[in-house]
Amino acid sequence: MRAEQEARRHLSIRSLLRSGSCAEASEVEPGFLCSPTNGLKRYSVKNSITIRLIKTRYLRILVLMNDNNVAVWYGEGPKENVRKALLSLDLNRLNGKSILIKPNIGRAAHPEQGINTHPQAIAGAIEILQQTGAGRIAIGESPIVGVDTMEAFKKAGIKEIADQYGIELIDLNAKKPVIKEISDYRILKSTKICADVYEFDIILSLPVAKCHMHTGVTLGFKNMKGCLYKHEKVRYHQLEYEEGRIFEEKTLDSAISDLATILRPDMTVIDGYIGMEGLGPSGGEAVRSDFAVASFNPMGADVFGCLMMGMEPSSVVHLKVIGERLGLSLNPDDYSLCGEKAENYTSHITKYAQPPTSITIEYPNIRVYDCESCSACLSTLMLFLKRFKDDMSQYLLNDGMFHIAIGKGLDDTVKEGTILIGNCTRNVKHRGKFVPGCPPVSSRIYKTITGMEPPDNEPEVK
């Protein structure tokens, strides 16, 4: 309590106004300030309490980021898991607030396949938000390029839930984006974010628990990539570091961490009822793990989401980088578990199979060069061949084979005309068609080879 009082003294409304860092401010409740300003500013005070001012061109919240409570619930299905996890938290701060629920509905897929957030998990969240006296509640999504947002909502069972509870559905791509500058960037100087995101007091990230072939997992932080406008999501896979500004992590991990400095969940609920293991986000296997995690601390939620999937949080590179940049802990001991089932959460861990670390090609007429590649490029290649192998028959070389290569250890033994996937193959790009990215997505590989977008960016999941 003394530390909180000191924090407020260090950052009183009067001092904010006097410093000129905001044009107007008002105290709305203890620990919160509102300020219509621009950019990002970080304040550190005693006892390791950190206050961050998320400043946008619209109204946002200055919040004392010392809520380390994480609720875990399991074994009662998607709706009850979410309901009881949320009820384990202090939700008073949501009263009267407008809330955007950002699920993971990036693809047109039926429930029960582990690809999208389960509709009953969303129903559980809506019921609790309405009970706590939240104001406007909406569900918004910007799916992958080529997927119609409203069709995806319908097929995923979300429209039915929205109609049942009288909730607005928002196609986040419908409005022109907001271009946000990133001052202390690693790879992104700016990014395009869907404008509707800034019309709400609270962003509730509600992902389904999935392995991801490019990022290890996709949970609360990674789910915010679905707030990017249209093709901006693809651009994150095509980036290269600037000269003199190079980091050891994949460019995609750095880009996600850049995004987290300007946009992150105010609240996270992870739907682990039916997740996806292996070649996620869409090419893996569904796995029933039947859990939910909820927290106002975005890192706390993702840490325990990883643990419930049988994963070490520090092995997820984008979480590690975000933690280092924002001062958020990946150590589970730094969080306080709540909920009557939380204490025994280890008894309900489901170990998710990870993306492959080696590749077996079962297709005839395909020659793969793989020398010192990473799991992200391996998985990308496997998914590309799974989707487009039949379309590649017209691109065979004079030996009757389709040649494709990944890895940083390639040399000139690669046959001329080979498709070279990923930034690491740049040293031999003179040997064929080079597809930049870290890693590139399947549709970009297809377009580099054929000169056209694929007929479907990603086939509907039947």
Residues 301-325 have pLDDT tens digits of: 999 999 999 999 999 999 999 999 9
Q: 285 burial class (0-12, 13-18, 19+ CB within 10 angstroms)? A: middle
Q: Is 461 contained in some domain?
A: no
Whether residue 455 is contained in a domain is answered as no
Q: How far apart are CA 128 and CA 132, in angstroms?
A: 6
Distances (CA, A) of 267 to 5, 199, 206, 220: 24, 16, 9, 9
pLDDT value for 460: 46
Give the separation between CA 162 and CA 390, rounded to whole angstroms.
39
Q: Which of 316, 348, 380 is the last residue of a domain?
A: 348
Whether 334 is covered by a domain: the verdict is: yes
**Domain count along the chain:** 3
Q: How many residues does the chain have?
A: 462
Domain identity same for 140 and 157: yes
3-state secondary structure of 89: coil
- Euclidean distance between CA atoms 186 and 242, whole angstroms: 9
Q: Are residues 337 and 371 in the same domain?
A: no
- Do 286 and 333 fall within a single domain? yes
Confidence category of residue 21, pLDDT binned at 50, 70, 90: very low
Largest CA distance in the chain: 76
CA gap 10, 23 in Å, rounded: 18
Tokens at 179, concatenated: 């271009």
Q: Are residues 194 and 283 in the same domain?
A: yes
Q: Are residues 200 and 288 in the same domain?
A: yes
Of 264 and 371, more confident = 264
Q: Are residues 211 and 332 in the same domain?
A: yes
**pLDDT (0 to 100) of residue 8:** 40
Asked if pLDDT for residue 457 goes beyond 60, the answer is no
Same domain, 169 and 230: yes
Same domain, 150 and 17: no
The pTM score is 0.78
* 144 and 115 co-located in one domain: yes
Co-location of 285 and 387 in the same domain: no
Sign of the CA dihedral with 99 first, then 87, 89, and 310 last? negative
Quick check: is 354 in a domain?
A: no
pLDDT surpasses 50 at 431:
yes
In sequence order, the β-bridge partners of residue 64 are: 51
CB 269 within 8 A of CB 86: yes
Predicted confidence at residue 199, as pLDDT, reads: 97
51 or 181: whose pLDDT is higher? 181
Residue 313 placed within a domain:
yes
Which domain-ending residue is among 348, 379, 395? 348
In a domain, 356, yes or no: no
Residue 153: inside a domain: yes
278 and 292 both lie in a single domain: yes
Is residue 462 domain-resident? Answer: no
Report cis status (omega within 30 of 0) of the bond before 439.
yes
The two structure tokens encoding residue 390: 């039949």
- Among residues 63, 81, 115, the one where a domain terminates is 63
Q: Which two tokens stand for residue 30?
A: 């203890």
Give the list of residues 6+ apart from residue 19 with CB closer than 8 angstroms, or none: none
Residues 420 and 408 in one domain: yes
Q: Which of 55-59, 97-101, 251-255, 326-330 has the lowest mean pLDDT?
A: 55-59
Q: Give the helix ranges, DSSP H, for 214-339.
A: 220-223, 232-235, 251-262, 298-308, 317-326
Residue 133 pLDDT exceeds 60: yes
Which domain range does residue 225 map to? Answer: 67-348
- pLDDT at 296 exceeding the cut of 70: yes
Q: Which of 122-126, 209-213, 232-236 is predicted most confidently?
A: 122-126
DSSP, collapsed to helix, strand or coil, labels residue 442 as helix
CB-neighbour burial class of residue 310 (10 A; exposed 0-12, middle 13-18, buried 19+): middle
